[in-house]
Structure 1
């Protein structure tokens, strides 16, 4: 028998603390750093972002998104037999135990479901989706919980206005299940480690001491140039695998990094912006959480409907990038 994977539930969660550009500018001014709503919005399309409280972890955001996805899928936690968690801000230093294991415990899953983290930064959710699709198609797993969750506010240097204004915290999740009908039509993943230095957290730890910087670093111009190039290519690769062209894509749900990257990608693919789901204005860049956050927003407000063909794509540090096409 041929197995397929299908998305049957979506969910998301944002920390209650929402910070507008004006509020952030006021906070930065206290540090002697000058910025403004106009400066931030004109360069990124961002108007606001959410920050988690100091005692809130990625797993805390993840379980709220997961609960909503499970409810939408009409499943119980113990129906899940695999958890894949995409995050660059894990609960524990070094990433172990995995945040996926922490989420498993917090959700009360007691069936021995496998759990693992995936680290591909802003492409992490697409990577996790691709892994889940493969695991379901092999028949080894039936119901997979895929989560992207981040507390990027923990790794931002609030004395660097070129990066600290761009990122926020949040989580999104989907439930993928075994199906007799195709749901995931194509996935394509790439990486190029030669570009690792343009978007990274360059510090390391030796004997319990941080060597170098533990803050996010980004060469904005280099990232923009590379992102626009690879997102067009991987989108076309995914469409070729699925046997589709751009006219058959109902919605593009891209990584929410910068409105100009999204506009450029849509233009290259000849997709009108009316077909692009945009949440970067209210969420900022939430890394691995950005795609599932945007996907859930469009599902819940009725834009994305059952039967629609949706392309998701992301690009992030590593340098990594990927795309997936799904029939909802």
Structure 2
């Protein structure tokens, strides 16, 4: 379970960093004081009792994006919001109990929090609760309950659960195909034909659903299906590039690395070494070893991560501040929930700060 949760956190963090790296050239015109001001406004709103602000501020300390990482402080904010009834905070606090630096691991508490959030139909909690039952974390293993909860999570919109179920269906189909291959005349092989077709169809539908809901793992897999014409998907370089780019922009360093390689080679896309080098640099910064090795051997201008983080901080902070205290035309303020904020993991999140070239390149209109 820790592998699942830590992987989620790592990719969320990488998504933030990726956006920053892409737009690092804009940093010079920005000022760090705006970050501090926005975080202070968020802190004030949390102090005044805003549950949404507590959750947002908790994420800042949890991920260490706009401030130094502080798991204890993040947990305290999540706990306050969770006690106020925030299902999102309950889920986030539950994830922390699976291991954060300086924070005690407690699978039983995590299970309790996921259960509480799942009662409010939080889609991520439903998916995580399904994994608890599947792996036996904080509760006895129960595959039937796990399957039921995962189905509910998928129905509620959890892309990661759809991605997992797609893998499970595909794995089962491949197992049945082996039976059919080695003994095609057996009675069992004949019975599996319809089941194989059902599972293959389900796996394809689920990976597409997960990709459309923003799961970067599914987007990467789907890109490879289109790139190679696998699993019933037609070979389509444009679709392959579209899904691979979305996965890369979402923080998947495997996608970032492959995208860099493809642009440099001109494979399935018009060759663009400069763009390829940029994606390789991003993948290297996010921890991809092959990208790091390639970039170490090249005389390529380095990307300033620290400066990029400033731009990211400003952009996120401005949005957070405006969501909490948005000035109206009369000079007063109106409150806004975080649900009204743009998705910071979306590739076009910073489109208003992009150059015209970057807007076109990222299809942000």
Query: Comparing both structures, which one devotes a greater share of its residues to strand?
Result: 1
When normalised by structure 1's length, the TM-score is 0.28
When normalised by structure 2's length, the TM-score is 0.26
Q: RCO higher in 1 or 2 (8 Å CA, sep ≥ 6)?
A: 1
